[in-house]
Amino acid sequence: MKWHKHVFKERLLKINTRDEALVLLEEAYRKCFDVNEIALAFNTTSDIITKYLIELDIFNKKFCYKCDDGAGAWCNKDQFSKNSSHTDGLRSNCKSCTNSHGKQYYAKPEVKEAHKEYLSKPETIEARKVWYKEYYSKPEAIEVRKEYHKEYYSNPEVNEREKERRSKPEAIEARKEYNKEYYSKLEIKEYYKERRSKPEAIEARKEYNKEYRSKPETKEARKEYYSRYEVRERIKARFKERYNTDIAFPLRINISSRVNQSLKVNNTSKMGKSISEYLPYTIQELMNHLESKFLPGMTWDNHSYYGWHVDHKKPVSSFKITSMECEEFQECWALKNLQPLWSDDNWTKSNKYEELTDEELDNLSNEEFLKD
Ligand SMILES: [Zn+2]
């Protein structure tokens, strides 16, 4: 529909009432939008035209040509979806017309079929993925979605329905299947691995575990679990198995136990911390060091109660170890203070820090093994 100024001028001459003038003004604005142009056609000022347009509340509205079965109607601007390629930033038709038009259109079998085919094309799938990713990564879109979800799921009915849907066996099965596939993807694995290994994530996890472990119900459950005969037997068996097969394991356990003893003397403990965080070397480095000092006949197989032990040249008892951070701890456990020694020789030194007996090992297995 075009704006013909001269036609309006002619029609203006035939107008008798104010209402008729307003009807004509409404039509003029619908076709022209330019207040100054309309003022010229009506032979008045733009201020007066603006005043009447405000009276018609037309600035908050937009004309939808589809409304009323094609007769058209003024709808509030918030009834229109956005379209940034239009000068007023809104779509041509109001939401309800767009929706019903879309519904009618997409209800046609041939359109349905064609659309389905279009959607299943690999290039469409790819393009949609890109579009969605871009669209939903915008902060305003994230905000809108958050708001929407919050509102949607705050509805108790929806919540109930959602719970029910999720608890159905087929939904559980589908979720399992999906998760299995999702988490087996290499890039996903990499992503989570990286996320988990960030210092702040490690810290957060520690904090969480600490809090979780300190809960009375957790303590109670753990106590109950570890008091079960079969559980204790299983742990003992696993501990012994590892003790006898992993040569680094007895070493670590012994050191851990002796550190604990030395701290106990000073009325403190490891505070549940791992020695490996405080020793200035790795277990492997310690093993290399000890091996380099092996006396004839020493092997990792006879690192035992009746074989050789890790000996402190300057005995542990001569240090005052108050924590694993203190200097005395570092000195006591420095590589240069450690050497392998046959047990006979060790006994003659008669310091009270002895290696573990089988019985002590049994007792230890419960506490120590669980920490890893
Ligand atoms: Zn409409």
Instruction: Give 21's contacts (C-beta < 8 A, 6+ positions apart).
Output: 12, 15, 52
Q: Going by C-beta distance under 8 Å and a sequence separation of 6 or more, which residues neighbour residue 28?
A: 3, 8, 38, 41, 42
Across the range 337-356, mean pLDDT stands at 63
Q: How far away, in angstroms, is 21 Cα from ligand 1 center?
A: 25
Which residues partner with 341 through β-bridges? 309
Q: What percent of the chain has pLDDT over 70?
A: 92
- 79 Cα–ligand 1 center, Å: 8
Instruction: Report the pLDDT value the prediction gives residue 342, as an integer from 0 to 100.
Output: 87
Kindly tell me if the per-residue pLDDT of 263 is higher than 90. Answer: no
CA–CA distance, 209 with 226 (Å, rounded to integer): 18
Burial class (CB in 10 A: 0-12, 13-18, 19+), 102: exposed
pLDDT of residue 105: 81
Compute, in angstroms, the gap from residue 368 CA to the centroid of ligand 1: 74
**Could you give the CA distance from residue 155 to residue 250 in angstroms, rounded to a whole number?**
58
- Ligand 1 centre from 62 Cα, in Å? 10
Domain residue ranges in the chain: 5-104, 106-151, 246-370
Q: Is the pLDDT assigned to residue 280 strictly greater than 70?
A: yes
Contact 240, 365 (CB under 8 A): yes
At 47, is the pLDDT very low, low, confident or very high (cuts 50, 70, 90)? very high
Mean pLDDT to the nearest integer, 177-192: 87
Q: Which pTM value belongs to this model?
A: 0.39
Tens-place pLDDT, residues 3-38: 677 777 788 888 888 888 888 888 888 888 888 888
**Cα–Cα distance between 71 and 354 in angstroms, integer?**
100
Q: What is the CA(128)–ligand 1 centre distance, in A? A: 28
Distances (CA, A) of 209 to 194, 201, 371: 20, 12, 12
335 — pLDDT class (breaks 50, 70, 90) = very high
> How do residues 187-235 score in pLDDT, each as one tens digit?
888 888 888 889 999 999 989 988 988 889 988 888 888 888 898 888 8
Query: What distance in angstroms lies between residue 97's CA and the mean position of ligand 1's atoms?
Result: 4
Contacts of 299 (CB under 8 A, 6+ apart): none
Rounded to the nearest angstrom, the distance between the alpha carbon of 32 and the centre of ligand 1 is 19
Q: How far is the CA of 78 from the centre of ligand 1 (A)?
A: 12
In this structure, what token pair is assigned to residue 88? 């007023």
Angstrom CA distances, 147 to 126, 141, 143, 152, 202, stand at 28, 10, 6, 8, 31
pLDDT band at 334 (very low <50, low <70, confident <90, very high): very high
* CB-based neighbours (< 5 A) of ligand 1, an ion: 64, 66-67, 94, 97
